[in-house]
Chains A and B, each alone.
Chain A
Amino acid sequence: ILNVEQSPQSLHVQEGDSTNFTCSFPSSNFYALHWYRWETAKSPEALFVMTLNGDEKKKGRISATLNTKEGYSYLYIKGSQPEDSATYLCACGEAGNMLTFGGGTRLMVKP
């Protein structure tokens, strides 16, 4: 079982602020890093899947980077909006088929 950690556990920001949070994972046997967005009362939805060291992905105001050598990924949100309020989950896949999720970062954006 991998130890995938996300920080912070929760975050309150003001509308318009940019923010970022971290996912850390063991760098040995790394295969892939997933980010999901999970709104209350809905299902998690995929944001990004990254595999290569130095990968950067972007979707609108949300972007992510990956450092497989040191075992971390950052998720950035530029100009946060109230609709960005959600729990952001990362998941790390080892070589093979297991995908281990972190505990999530709960983001609340105040208007």
Chain B
Amino acid sequence: EAQVTQNPRYLITVTGKKLTVTCSQNMNHEYMSWYRQDPGLGLRQIYYSMNVEVTDKGDVPEGYKVSRKEKRNFPLILESPSPNQTSLYFCASSLRPPDVSRAQSMWKLFFGSGTQLSVL
């Protein structure tokens, strides 16, 4: 089954304890992205990746790291989590990044099931 898999679904941690949220897709998608969702603020992009070894900052990258060593995986790393990083996180992927030479249908994002993170 084609899907984006995030783990864990729920995580409670303490300030300063490094954590990684994993994201994996089995659709050979080039583009992957991380979002956080906070009440009243909508989905905000943290980092995105155009392809292997290509990553870039989104709107709210502070306090986060990512890596894209393989096409299928795009982990989100919080080196020293803080309470203001308590949020609902989504990983998403699309077949291709937006490009006028490619069909719109290739740009649709497929989302993972979300990770609810609480930092105490």
Contact = CB atoms under 8 A, between A and B. Distances in A.
Interface of A: 1, 4, 31-32, 34, 36, 42-46, 49-51, 89, 91, 93, 96-104
A89 B43 contact: yes
B59 A44 contact: no
Contacts of B90: 43-44
A1 B40 contact: no
Contacts of B45: 98-101
A91 to B, nearest CB: 8
Contacts, number: 64
Contact of B40 (A89, A96, A97, A103): A103
B44 interface: yes
Given A32-B104, A43-B90, A49-B108, A97 B42 contact: no
Contacts of B31: 97
A26 to B, nearest CB: 15
Interface string B30-71: 010101000011111100101000001011000000000000
B7 interface: no
20 contacts: A32-B98, A32-B104, A34-B108, A43-B114, A44-B43, A44-B90, A46-B109, A49-B107, A49-B108, A89-B42, A97-B31, A97-B48, A97-B56, A98-B45, A98-B58, A98-B59, A99-B45, A100-B59, A101-B43, A101-B44
B111 A45 contact: yes
Nearest to B33: A99
A34 B58 CA distance: 17
Given A32-B107, A43-B112, A49-B105, A104 B98 contact: no
B108 A46 contact: yes
Given A45-B111, A97-B31, A31 B98 contact: yes
A58 B41 CA distance: 28
Contact of B109 (A4, A51, A96, A99): A99
